[in-house]
Amino acid sequence: MQLLRGKLVADRIHVEIRERVGQLSVQPKLAAILVGDNPASHLYVSLKEKEAKMDGIAFEKHLFVPGAGEDEVVSMIARLNDDVSVHGILIQLPLPKGFDTDRIVGSVDPEKDADGFHARNISAFLDGDVSRIPVFPEALIEMLLSSQQPLAGQSALLVVNSEHFGRVMLKACENQGLVGRLVSSERLLAETEMTLEARVIMSACGIPGLIRRANILPNAIIIDGGIAKDETGKTVGDVDSESMMNETGFLSPVPGGVGPITIACLLRKVVTLATEKQKHPA
């Protein structure tokens, strides 16, 4: 399979970001909230900080130690909502056990929602406002488009374990002219031949080996949005990629696929939020 390299797509987006930042009269700023000591979350925030600074975007971190209270985090979000110098607010997920994720994400001003998963923004996207697409689904679509294959009318199987996320992905695919179908990982494991019905397969479950070569159409486009550790501790996606190498079609690898694009799309969203604020400073 031809590998779809996320860095190539991300680099193009970063060039766009830097050009747009140079045209603004204010420096875009992203504020990240990180709760707890999850090593992966700390790594992801560090990567976002590094890329933000390279793109000319100010970045500030608000770290909360394990045991911090939910009200304390909500209070910080309120302060960031009121801070006119902050254009985007990022809640690094997952939050520690016991936190109400909906409450935390819902506390962010929708006009500063950098990830795009505030309920108001999701509703607007599902109602047809394509500019409100959340960052991760946008990254998956950018990865798909990099295949440069015709998509209109093609069948797409979307393997997700969240109905909420699935509805967003279904709409994102429909916006590209795809005919999408949602399926859970549990059902796919029971009916593996379902993947033989789709030209496009997009998966984001975090289950190693969920998608296998024996159940793939020739010339399929497979976008792997899953991330997990295998039994050796290696970072892998949902796709059994080694078995795919001699097949025709396209595959996004893990790592090196959707991840870099997700960060680029996040930072592009921050620039968009800053641009909108500059147009409508009220």
The pLDDT score that the predictor gives to residue 124 is 97
Model-level pTM?
Answer: 0.94
The pLDDT score that the predictor gives to residue 282 is 63
- Evaluate if residue 171 carries a pLDDT over 90: yes
Structure tokens belonging to residue 187: 């059902």
Among 11-15, 51-55, 171-175, 232-236, the range scoring the smallest mean pLDDT is 232-236
The amino acid that residue 156 corresponds to is A
Mean predicted confidence (pLDDT) in 213-227: 91
* Domains parsed from the chain with CATH numbers: 12-112+260-279 (3.40.50.10860), 134-255 (3.40.50.720)
Q: What angle do CA 228, 231, 233 make, to 5 degrees?
A: 60
CA distances (Å), origin 61, targets 2, 55, 57, 74, 279: 38, 17, 13, 15, 26
Q: What is the pLDDT of residues 9-29, one digit of tens each?
A: 999 999 999 999 999 999 999
